[in-house]
Structure 1
């Protein structure tokens, strides 16, 4: 992780994210690798190691029971046929070693019986393991299909924007969680939502599906963005429990240069404009979706100028609340400034990798990142692009208010009027 450089205030240079180099395997190499992965090579090696000890030291009779380790290990790495093969090999070599040392027939029979028993038990365990793996693969396939239906992939270009999404579920095997996002073109402009459902597991997934379903319908039907939020609120009020809620940011781009934002108890998006990374703090803080009846407060609409070269990052608290071994939170604003580039997908890939490095390899909460960029027109790329991509973004603290020159960008509906 790079360090900040102090020049009166924090400046974070843009560091281009390099794509990984993918090694291309030939069909023969892939076939050999597949065969090696499914072959009980280590188990066979253990069996031959016992034989080698006998041939070199003449003490194979003492180590003869260790031949059972071969089929036992094969049960954890190979299929039933591989376990039977290793068991048969161990039994034949065990019989040969016993005969070579003149073992008594009853003693040799006990050793061989133990080898056969271990081999048969390992075969059964291997068959059961294979069955569980197939069931798990089927469940993961269903979960992945459900995720694609619930959290539809975002194309690289949506309306006038470049876009990218990165989502990680805390339950890695399930591949789905309680964070939600959607980015859709509508007759009223591009609209989007990023949210976080209270709780985890299947109940959170059900609530996320409810929110996304209502949003996708309302985003097409309602010309006013606040009406979209109200429809989601009414639906949640009918279906959620008293302690359930959803934090969310709903945004829309009804006309060129004008971005509308409604924040319902969610973390503020980060706006990148020229050389600054600024949190879009709500002018009128509102409670999360599902709690309006308890507070009596209604959300307000902010109008944020959003022009060529600007970028806006939406995220969930699984990103900002991720801690390292020293219990330090991940500094998202600084990370965004470090990895910012003109390709949102590359920016998010670098951010996610740095986030994983920060927490030590595994997230303990669902995490979603959605990045929008208004591309610079080709005719003005030489002049305007340099401002957006070659400067050193200045990171303002998430709790700080924007400077006077920037604060005027975040006006609510009344101010804009």
Structure 2
């Protein structure tokens, strides 16, 4: 729910400033036409232009009665203008009245139709938000030696759900984290993401070997009937008491480890294919190891960030910007990073959804 607005009400209408300026200019021209009609006197009339009034008002509202009221005022104005134009044929005045009435009814009908469609879209988006909350559960802020933050940025402002996925699980084998990106978009990608997360949530608590865990997800994805989608994924395993951490990279962008102001990529010894393709291209998933220190920051990300482009087509320099951000908690760092990415891409926005997960070792 959004405040006290009824669920079946249309969302508030927010017009961009340039649109408001254009509408204001149109209304001024309409007033000028009426004044010109009064000044020119009998023999000529500009009253048919009053049909524009309910149409202009219809752009600014989602209530059909507003253009109806405006149309009634316009019809009254046409009638008053007729009093100063005695020399014109009666058919001219009747045509003006009919034109204004027709425009009023059309504008009111259009406003009602647009409002109904926006209500439907608002309801669909509400359902999508609920689905995403069920699919992508909030990550714990603190778990074991880790402080964790997650951010998800949709490429389109209207989007609420996509194919990027993440999960954090506290298991008998340590803290296990998954970040992935489904190939493709739309509901099929969401369905694939749901399948991957479902398998991970079960297997992460029963499979002792991290590489074997990745293989189980690969087998589950490859075994789906008529499935041609693959998932790039990164698995991270951190002992609950600290110590050596492990990771498995399945065709995913390398995570970035920030230590003492310097950033390095955690690259695997051998590059492995995405989930769903291991049986086609061969190879195996290997566990990489590294020794984290207190204060280390690890950034897991999808390519929606690393492949974000500015107006000149240049990729966002993620490693450089991640190193340059002022030290702080993971939440503030991710907020600052997303703000910086937004400034880099400008008004064009992101070309792809972006998921970010930051991990800091507290002890």
Task: Note whether the superposition's TM-score is higher than 0.5.
Answer: yes
Where 1:249 maps in the other structure, the secondary structure is strand
Q: How does 1:29-68 map to 2 (within 5 A)?
A: 48-55=31-38, 62-68=45-51
Structure 2: unaligned runs, 5 residues or longer: 1-11
How much has 1:36 moved relative to structure 2?
Answer: 10
Partners of 2:140 and 2:168 within 8 A in 1: no
Q: Is the 2:255–2:265 contact (alpha carbons within 8 Å) kept by the matching residues of 1?
A: yes
Displacement of 1:355: 1.4
For the residues of structure 2 that align with 1:228 and 1:331, how far apart are their CA atoms?
32
Distance (Å, rounded) in 2 between the aligned partners of 1:57 and 1:368: 65
1:144–1:36 Cα change, 3 Å: closer
Q: 1:208 aligns with which of 183, 189, 193?
A: 193
Alignment of 1:57-136 (within 5 A): 62-78=45-61, 79-102=63-86, 103-136=88-121
Q: Deviations over 1:187-217 (max 9, x none)?
A: 3322111111111222111111111111111
The structure-2 alpha-carbon separation of the partners of 1:232 and 1:146, relative to structure 1 and needing over 3 Å to count, comes to same
Q: Hey, what's the Cα distance between the residues in 2 that align with 1:168 and 1:76?
A: 30
Q: 1:88 Cα shift?
A: 0.6
Q: 1:101 Cα shift?
A: 2.6
Q: 1:128 to 1:242 in 2, by over 3 A?
A: closer
8 Å Cα contact 1:155-1:163 kept in structure 2:
yes
Deviation at 1:118, TM superposition (A): 0.3
What CA distance in whole angstroms lies between the structure 1 residues aligned with 2:166 and 2:324? 24
Alignment of 1:14-413 (within 5 A): 48-55=31-38, 62-78=45-61, 79-102=63-86, 103-239=88-224, 241=226, 243-254=228-239, 255-361=241-347, 362-375=349-362
- Residue pair 2:54, 2:67 contacting (<8 A) in 1 also: yes
What secondary structure does 1:248 align onto? strand
Are the equivalent residues in 2 in contact too, given 1:194–1:249 (CA < 8 A)?
A: yes
| TM-align CA RMSD | 2.5
SS at 2:46 equivalent: helix
With structure 2 as the length reference, what TM-score do the two structures score?
0.86
Q: Give 1:47 deviation, angstroms.
A: 5.3
Q: Against the structure 1 CA distance between its residues 288 and 164, is the aligned structure 2 distance closer, same or farther, given a 3 Å change threshold?
A: same
Unaligned runs of 5+ in 1: 1-33, 377-417
**2-structure distance, mates of 1:317, 1:99:** 69
Q: CA deviation at 1:96?
A: 0.7
Instruction: For residue 306 of structure 1, give the secondary structure of its aligned residue in structure 2.
Output: coil
Partners of 2:14 and 2:44 in 1: CA distance: 31
Looking at structure 2, the residues matched to 155 and 47 of structure 1 have their Cα atoms a distance apart, in angstroms, of 59
Deviation, structure 1 residue 182 = 1.3
Aligned length: 341
SS in 2 for 1:220: coil
TM-score scaled to structure 1, two decimals? Answer: 0.76
